[in-house]
Amino acid sequence: METVILAVVIAVVVLGVLGGLVVGSRRKKPLPPPPPAAPDITAPPAEPHIGDEAETPRDEPRRTIEEVDLPDGSTGVAVEEPPVVEELPPTEIEVPEPTAGRLVRLRARLSRSQNALGKGLLTLLSREHLDDDTWEEIEDILLTADVGVAPTQELVEGLRERVKVLGTRTPEELRGLLREELLKLVGTDFDRTVKTEPETSKPGIVMVVGVNGTGKTTTTGKLARVLVADGRSVVLGAADTFRAAAADQLQTWGERVGAHTVRGPEGGDPASIAFDAVKEGKEIGADVVLIDTAGRLHTKTGLMDELGKVKRVVEKQAPLDEVLLVLDATTGQNGLVQARVFAEVVDITGIVLTKLDGTAKGGIVVAVQRELGVPVKLVGLGEGADDLAPFEPEAFVDALIGD
Ligand SMILES: Nc1nc2c(ncn2[C@@H]2O[C@H](COP(=O)(O)OP(=O)(O)OP(=O)(O)O)[C@@H](O)[C@H]2O)c(=O)[nH]1
């Protein structure tokens, strides 16, 4: 019996020792490194290029928002916040520059472009002997500046007479003489205010006309700024339905100063848009309605008739206070022919000479007033928003002859 017990004990001890050895050796063995996880290879996303369409995944049919399961909060998956769409701030209303003294402010542009006229005349007049040749040169300078034949002769005669009476001349005296004679030509008696305050009831109605590309839309926009600067409220009528971008262009001008634009479909009837603009101006109690019309060649009878119709339709509601003819000063004498035809179709009451900053032909101011008997009321002296100035003869002549 004892032998059996002993044998069992020995067997247990031997088994225990063997088991311990095996476990111990397992503990000491370093574990082999785990096999590297198979890399999840996906093609790198290609950089999108400007104009690329965003692709929809091809294997997933499109789902509507109702079909998309929202993750329930219990899964612990972080729910991404929807992106916050920032509201665009409303277009900021600009405060246009005051209109008073704009021409003086823009004088440098005028003098730069008109230098040849004033400086040339002064140089010639300063010659010791003013012989016939010199007077002819003076005439040439005036004609080159598009003053026109009759006004040129008047000016030369006037100067000749006064220089003779004066005898010896100082530069200051000559400048004074020339200034007076030029002022006579430009005219100081015209009423150059843009009529926007009707005697009976509001609003004042202004229509802007002219051939293509003279600057009508730009001028209408700038004029809205002039009026807003003077404290008036404005409605714009985009009756240029011919040029696709014209209504947008006008509306942008309007938005900048808080003026509403009445517009219609592209290619629509300009007369009905003009009518609606005046109607709206009346309804909201605006001070002025400015109507921009499409550019048209004075030689196209059909288009000129259409312009007459726009005027007549507007006048069913109230008479027009101003019909402004926009002339591009760089076209010089060609503008006169246009002016004549436009004046026949719609009574022109004022002239806007644009692009005077880019031409030495400032004499056109004189010529066009003579041609129509209508004053230049505004001049465009650049592409900037406030580069439209009420025309002031003194400031204009001073810019021509310099200080
Ligand atoms: N330098 C200069 N450019 C001007 C002036 N006035 C207008 N322009 C430019 O002339 C170009 C034509 O102006 P718009 O106002 O589009 O001409 P538009 O008469 O309405 O043109 P249509 O509708 O096609 O007949 C634009 O580039 C204007 O910026 C100005 O006084 N000086």
Ligand 1 and 113: CB distance under 6 A? no
Read off the pLDDT of residues 359-390 as tens digits, 9 standing for 90 and up: 888 889 999 999 899 999 999 999 999 999 99
- Tell me the percentage of the chain whose pLDDT exceeds 90: 48
Beta pairing partners, 352: 326, 378
Query: Torsion angle, CA of 375/398/221/342, rounded to 10 degrees?
Result: 30
| Model confidence band, residue 403 (pLDDT cutoffs 50, 70, 90) | low
Reported as type and span, the H/E element at residue 338 is: helix 334-345
Say how many Å lie between the CA of residue 355 and the centre of ligand 1. 8
Read off the pLDDT of residues 197-234 as tens digits, 9 standing for 90 and up: 987 788 999 999 999 999 999 999 999 999 999 999 99
Q: What is the 3-state secondary structure (H, E, C) of 62-81?
A: CCCCCCCCCCCHHHCCCCCC
Ligand 1 atom 11: the closest Cα is on which residue?
215
**Atom number, ligand 1, closest to the C-alpha of residue 381:** 31
Give residues with Cβ within 8 angstroms of 87, minimum separation 6: none
Mean pLDDT of the chain: 80
Lowest mean pLDDT among 5-9, 162-166, 257-261: 5-9
ipTM above 0.85, yes or no: yes
Termini Cα distance of the chain: 143
Say how many Å lie between the CA of residue 216 and the centre of ligand 1. 6
Question: Is 210 part of any known ligand binding site?
Answer: yes
Ligand 1 and 240: CB distance under 6 A? yes
322-328 and 350-354: which strand pairing? parallel
Read off the pLDDT of residues 33-67 as tens digits, 9 standing for 90 and up: 444 444 343 444 443 333 333 333 333 444 444 44
pLDDT at 55: 35
pLDDT at 286: 96
Out of 209, 216, 218, 361, give the residue to mutate to test ligand 1, the one with the largest number of ligand atoms within 8 Å of its CB. 218
* Pick from 348, 273, 280, 266: nearest CA to 313: 273
Q: Got the DSSP string for 223-270?
A: HHHHHHHTT--EEEEEE--SSTTHHHHHHHHHHHHT-EEE---TT--H
Question: Is 292 part of any known ligand binding site?
Answer: yes
* Pick from 102, 107, 98: nearest CA to 362: 107
Ligand 1 and 146: CB distance under 6 A? no
Ligand 1 and 380: CB distance under 6 A? yes
Q: Is 195 exposed, middle or buried (0-12, 13-18, 19+ CB in 10 A)?
A: middle
Q: Which residue has the tokens 């019996």?
A: 1
Q: Is 162 exposed, middle or buried (0-12, 13-18, 19+ CB in 10 A)?
A: middle
Beta pairing partners, 390: 378
Backbone φ and ψ of 155, nearest 5°: -65, -45
Q: In what order do the strands lie in the sheet with 376-380?
A: 260-262, 234-239, 288-293, 204-209, 322-328, 350-354, 376-380, 388-390
Average pLDDT, stretch 16-42? 41
Give residues with Cβ within 8 angstroms of 284, minimum separation 6: 235, 260
